[in-house]
Amino acid sequence: MLPNSFFNRKTLIVAKELLGKYLVRRYYSTSRKRYIVAKEKITEVEAYVGSHDLACHSSRGKTARNEIMFQEAGTIYVYFTYGMHWMLNIVTEEKDFPAAVLIRGTENVSGPARLTKKFKIDKNLNGKKLGKKSGLWVEEPTSLELRHAKVKIVRTPRIGVAYAGEWAKKPYRFILKD
């Protein structure tokens, strides 16, 4: 499991280094009457780097919606968008510097809304710390998984933030290509 110190670094570094790590979710399935563990390699992320970043939720200051972004690194920031989708972010950098990485996709899930549906992520995780207690964490790949990894990272502009002017063109989206 990655320690909080992994996330308490510059957001662009964290975003890039999250690629190839594993998103793990443990939750209780009422229909199956048992715990389920979902684990997939992170393949796509986007970085949001503070209140000066006009695409970042914190660009308009601290609000009830984005106050989680001002918490410690490794805090889960989940927000609702378009009146129907949850988005998973992980807070980065120092406390009171509002930055986060949006998890956009894994090896079998393309798109942040599909990801939160598959991993059963919703507002109940908002503000919690990554870890076994919350049921959501990020793991390093095993040495066997690393041995077979030949990767290329592609950087592109972020998606869906045209309103942010020049900030929309920043190459803050990272995609893992095997």
What pLDDT is attached to residue 95?
97
Res. 127: pLDDT tops 60? yes
Residue 136 confidence class, pLDDT cut points 50, 70, 90: very high
Q: What is the mean pLDDT of the chain?
A: 94
Please give the class, per CATH, of domain 4-177: alpha beta
What pLDDT is attached to residue 145?
63
The full 3-state SS of the chain, as one line of letters, equals CCCHHHHCCCHHHHHHHHCCCEEEEEEEECCCCEEEEEEEEEEEEEEEECCCCCCCHHHHCCCCCCHHHHCCCCEEEEEEECCCEEEEEEECCCCCCCEEEEEEEECCEECHHHHHHHCCCCHHHCCCECECCCCEEEECCCHHHHHCCCCEEEEECCCCCHHHHHHHHCCCEEEEEC
pLDDT tens, residue by residue, 22-79? 999 999 999 999 999 999 999 999 999 999 998 999 898 899 889 999 999 999 999 9
What pLDDT is attached to residue 130?
98
Read off the pLDDT of each residue in 144-150 and give the average, rounded to a whole number. Answer: 61
Strand partners, 105: 44, 110
- Worst-scoring range by mean pLDDT, 2-6, 78-82, 84-88, 152-156? 78-82
pTM: 0.93
Domain boundaries, the chain: 4-177
Residue 17 confidence class, pLDDT cut points 50, 70, 90: very high
Is residue 151 a contact partner of residue 99, using CB atoms and an 8 Å limit? no
